[in-house]
Amino acid sequence: MQDRSLTRRTVLASATVVAASAAGAVGVTATPAAAHGRDHRLKKILSRMSVEAKIGQLFVPYFYGASATSPSPFDQERNLRELGVRTVAELIAKYHLGGVIYFSGWTNNIQDPRQVAELSDGVQRASLALPTPVPCLISIDQEHGANVRIGSGATQLPGAMALGAGRSTSDARTAGRISGTELAALGIRQNFAPVADVDVNPANPVINVRSFGADPHEVGRMVAAQVTGYQQAGVVACAKHFPGHGDTGQDSHTGLPVITHTREEWDRVDAPPFRAAIAAGVDSIMTAHLQVPALDPSNEPATLSPTILQGVLRDELGFDGVIVTDALNMAGVRTKYGDDRVPVLALLAGADQLLFPPDIDVAYHGVLAAVRGGEITEDRLDESVLRILRLKDRTGLLDGSPYTSPREVDRVVGARGHRLAADRIAERTTTLLVNEGQALPLRRGRRKLLVTGASPAFPTDETRTTVPELARAFEELGHRVTHLATGREPDAAKIDEAVAAARGRDSVVVTTDNVGATSAQRTLVSRLRATGVPVVHLAVRNPYDIAHLGDVPASLVSYCWTEVELRAAARVIAGRAEPRGRLPVPVQRADDPSRVLFPMGHGLSYAD
């Protein structure tokens, strides 16, 4: 089995030392007079708020249902059980909320673009009915790639590591602008993206392809470009997860990771993308629930550390925007303190927005008690509320109507021009790692193909899975295709079925998803190679899969399995597009992680 710590050290040692710049970013800075005038207006709003209303502005909770006032009976019951109210409109009224967050699937917030826009309008009506009416800042995690909330109807774009493989800041900025434009049309004005973590640990279970790559300079360039794209579209960008979640083998959702970088390593590896985001004018930065002894020897989680948030982020890096906590229901921030104390300590550390408390009533009243008892001064409270009001002002929420336009939703969301741009960007990210004997592109003509292998469900639609969708993409290109999904852990019978299906085919396209040293996917690929039918391997998530597969005649990486990336991979395999992506991370040998199998920057073209 691979020595993961040695792999991490190898990647860490290969990280570029050059500090990141924000070249190509377009920042908009208000004149001192304009900023003073704006703050004078916002302070008037602040002066009309009660303490309870100010505290409500800090919270960004979840809720259930596709409607603000009339969710399904099932969602009303879930809201009542977990939140103490039946609807999000009641939740806003009860806690004077300044923000909410949408999720897909488990919260049933997202069905289609028109419904999302109507939900946003309902949220704003509830917000403007408060004693001090202030529009709500609606947020989402729409990173694209492996982490998508709005699927059907909206434009799907390549994720961070795919964009990192494309190496184009123009494409990264365009992707941010397209996504931001569609979110704004849906009434969503804060997106918790881009990820600024540097992926120097192949064993990282939570960041991985959500990162732009392993080179701090390149990650910084991409982060700055995406920040610019989102904020040009009128959406608050959020660089995450400060001070850097890229080098951990533990998921902060389930535990409290420790980053063992020295201060010099942190300055060289983790800090550059956040410096680039700040230079690009990023409006918000999200904290990480992890310990960084080199930055804070007390070992408080970064979310609760004044040394990290105030001392490093604000004082050293000069960030004066909104600091958002990562979700407060995660285990990484709940290991030492109760749910009533965590939001208080986060505010005292320097945070402004309190995301996803596990119990909104406990969290809200915990902060209220801290203010009434003098632990949190009203001046400190006002600092955070003023920063949040500035965000709302910069996105235009405080000017005119915060409501959506059905015509704009239909015109913008999933627009043909957006989808065509996404397809072209995805083509430029698909990476060809191996092409022995010029196995690719496929020969011209109507080829008989088998598409088989791992078939993860689409991030936002579990009824659509990778193998049949990839097969459909080849069919649309004119090929005769049989498909057979084997899963991530195929048993002997399923492998035999795939081998039998390969007979008589011109080529086999086999997908893999997160192959490990003992994965049955290795056996599947080996058995398919033994049939003598040409095998094309496509890693639909991690670029590291190839290290475990031995000799394959052709191998590509798409970095994710969403529709846009699968279509692009099919076009590249079929020769309808040229592979242009280059690895944004090194791939180590499985049998000797101290040696690099494919270096950063590796990527073949058909001319090679």
Q: Annotated catalytic sites, by residue?
A: 253, 326
Q: Considering only CA atoms, which of 245, 213, 247 is closest in space to residue 332?
A: 245
Q: Which two tokens stand for residue 464?
A: 């659509």
Cα separation, 581 vs 159, whole angstroms: 13
Cα separation, 274 vs 246, whole angstroms: 13
Q: Are 85 and 91 in contact (CB under 8 A)?
A: yes
Cα separation, 156 vs 144, whole angstroms: 7
3-class SS of residue 499: helix
Q: Which two tokens stand for residue 116?
A: 């999302």
Q: Considering only CA atoms, which of 459, 429, 446 is closest in space to residue 557?
A: 429
Cα separation, 131 vs 127, whole angstroms: 9
HEC secondary structure over 49-91: CCHHHHHHHHEECCCCCCCCCCCCHHHHHHHHHHHCCCCHHHH
Cα separation, 147 vs 528, whole angstroms: 31
3-class SS of residue 10: helix
Q: Which H or E element spans position 139?
A: strand 137-140
Q: Considering only CA atoms, which of 466, 451, 450 is closest in space to residue 566?
A: 466
Q: Which residue has the tokens 């920040």?
A: 227
Burial 296-322 (b: 16+ CB within 10 A, else e): beeebbbbbbbbbbbbbbbeebebebb
Cα separation, 133 vs 192, whole angstroms: 25
Q: What secondary structure letter does DSSP report for 335? A: S
Amino acid letter for position 347: L
3-class SS of residue 161: helix
R_g of the chain computed on alpha carbons: 24
| DSSP state string for 212-264 | --S-HHHHHHHHHHHHHHHHHTT-B-EEEEET--SS-SS-TTTS--B----HH
Cα separation, 409 vs 526, whole angstroms: 48
Q: Which two tokens stand for residue 259?
A: 């980053």
Burial 346-361 (b: 16+ CB within 10 A, else e): bbbbbbbbbbbbbbbe
Residues linked to residue 140 through DSSP beta bridges, in sequence order: 102, 191
Q: What are phi and psi for residue 417, nearest 5 degrees?
A: -60, -35
Q: What would you measure as the largest C-alpha separation in the chain, in angstroms?
A: 77
Q: Are 276 and 221 in contact (CB under 8 A)?
A: yes
The alpha carbon of residue 528 and the mean position of all alpha carbons in its chain are separated, in whole angstroms, by 34
